[in-house]
Structure 1
């Protein structure tokens, strides 16, 4: 049996149904155009450069690294949204992650741009198949903005967000570093902590374990 509240919304729901049917009748191109118009949060497109990561689980003396795409220092772009504050925040996120990771994602290994013969392993596994540990920083709009559903024309509150992620491995040094130790150091980074806990914001920091082993 329908509730009184449902019955009282009959006219509203009928209008929403009509709007939904109109949406479903649109061509694929028209739907894609409408979808792009609603991406008010924007997608962060970060700069990526060639870099080298020493996977977790590899002995310090093994001198094993993998070549992959790491987070670059250039300012990111925002697609599908607006620039201004969003791009400024995304650029700040990139700088904070690079500073926090340090030599865990590097552009050189021991100061070298090419490996000494027989001592470095640069492509032990194809980088696109190796699941590196990853840090993920996310910034979500804390207040929200009113939007109208492209499906039903019903109003709702949208909370757009931007996120930046980067792969990482062991820190450069003579001693082996575990993922747990690296995770603790990253989460304890002063710059990241200040950014995440800033007043009147909804921000988060997540560290994801490495999912592939070289052994």
Structure 2
């Protein structure tokens, strides 16, 4: 049983890309669009594996600007043209990445009971598009541009703690909700937060485009969709 009931939290903090926004569908869809124009049959899981390797390197830039560089690195292995203009197209396509089918409704329901905080490794320009697609549900938002760092750096989380403390709360008032074991679930546990793992890839093997954690962290709460989290919260607030 989780240590704390869902109704005891004042805040829900969220990973955005991969938890609320369908990052893998957006990335693969953009690559498949380019591939179709050049007569290439693209394997989505292979593309995600190549992306993961290319993304997490010392020369990586901030996301999603880094997609222009990543494209040039993975294009040869995918049989796609090594064309900087296509890298820019991949990066700019992020603006159209869509939420998961359950995200908008779930966030609207959760907003009735909690203050929602975005915690995203995306740059502010991309988050603005994601926020609009989600229906502007957030009480506050922290991007890599705001924090100067990326999860799983504890410094990112400490800036959120400071914000909550300025409103009279503490990290104990926050339930951290995310799909990434590496970026979110492990570090939130290390920092003493209660967490909720949204296992978006529950029906697919592996970690897809997200780096695998060194160690798996058993979450306090575990759902395979945002809808299930919203349902569970609704029961407790009924």
TM-score category (smaller protein): under 0.3
Structure with bigger helix share is: 2
Q: Find the structure with the greater CA-based Rg.
A: 1
Structure with bigger strand share is: 1
Q: Normalization by structure 2: what TM-score? A: 0.23
Q: Normalization by structure 1: what TM-score? A: 0.25
